[in-house]
A = this chain, B = another copy of it.
Amino acid sequence: MTPTKKTPTIYDVAKLSGVSIATISRVLNSPDKVNAETHKKVMTAIDRLGFVPKAEARARAMQGTGRIGVLTPFFTAPSFVQRLRGVAASLSKANYELVIYPVDSLDHLQGHLSSIPLMKNVDGLIIMSLAIEDIDAKRLSASGMETVLIEYKHRGMNSILIDDEHGGNLVAEYLIQKGHKTFAFLGDIEPPEKFSIHPVRSRLKGYKQTLQDAGFSLPKSNIHSAPYTQKESREAAFEILQLPKPPTAIFAASDFQALAVMKIARQLGIKIPDDMAVVGFDDIDVAEHVDLTTISQHLDESGRLAAEVLLSRINEGGRPLQHVNLPLNLIERATA
């Protein structure tokens, strides 16, 4: 019917450039595996012919899409970013693409969760710091979409967990051992949105528990809640520092908020750690810069791990579900 020139295939390119089709494929998919000269020859041929690989054939031959999706709260907090970095590191090593779905509302989350399994345009999913509902979990596993949850547990899905409560314990122990007698807490413990998780409450719980077990009290007046914003964190910090009987130790449930405390303290001429001790949580990059004593939750590592668990589930059939509990440890620096 059509005696005219068909659209060029990989075979045409191979013939023109004098190599085998395998090499063409390699030039396109793993260029680092082919000699620079060959690469150039092939690219020339490709350009000359205007060759475009047929997506459909490609998808067929490849056992998947080579893409991993990450659902993450819209990345505003440094800790998310740092996790993401870990994920990116693992994926790029394994030659997977990273597709990011920022979530900033329940609708958003629901939309993604319902469309992703249908579209199947990713081979696996990492859900970071988001609470998912039973029905979504079911949909995901029914459609065979491998998923790893970070910071949230669901039977039937892999998860990477942080023992926030234990983190709270660690902080309290440390402060007690340092000889402190009066304590405060700053964190975001407002009733969260439906889809969000509340690690901060667990941190508080552990903190309080250990304090009480040791015979210390954490009065209501010393527990201040502030949303995760610059302004409000500072206001809360200000309130704590202006308390009639100011505590000698503050646990801020995130490094970000610990920074706020440090800043206000400086403004008020309160010396850290002499007048007051501050301990944060997360160990984000800057913590080290400002010498903040904090709980490291190995953010990079948790991302890396999530990606690795996911890939192993995808590529090695029938690996069992994993619930990894990441260790937490206190990093002693200059603020407490």
Contact = CB atoms under 8 A, between A and B. Distances in A.
Interface in A230-261: 230, 259-260
B4 A318 contact: yes
Interface stretch (A71-79, A125-133, A216-224, A324-332): A71-79
Interface in A80-108: 81, 84-85, 88-89, 92, 97-102, 104, 107-108
Contact of A5 (B30, B114, B144): B144
B61 A119 contact: yes
Interface stretch (A47-55, A162-170, A175-183, A189-197): A47-55
By DSSP majority rule, is chain A's interface helix, strand, loop, or mixed? Answer: helix
A144 B7 CA distance: 7
A61 B121 CA distance: 7
A55 B5 CA distance: 25
A111 interface: yes
A230 B288 contact: yes
A156 interface: no
A2 B115 contact: no
Interface string A287-310: 011110000000000000000000
Contacts of A76: 85
Nearest to A116: B61
A314 to B, nearest CB: 11
A167 to B, nearest CB: 22
A98 to B, nearest CB: 5
A291 B230 CA distance: 13
B56 A59 contact: yes
Interface of A: 1-2, 4-7, 27-32, 43, 46-47, 51-62, 64-65, 67, 74-76, 78, 81, 84-85, 88-89, 92, 97-102, 104, 107-108, 110-111, 114-115, 118-121, 139, 142, 144, 230, 259-260, 263, 285-286, 288-291, 317-318
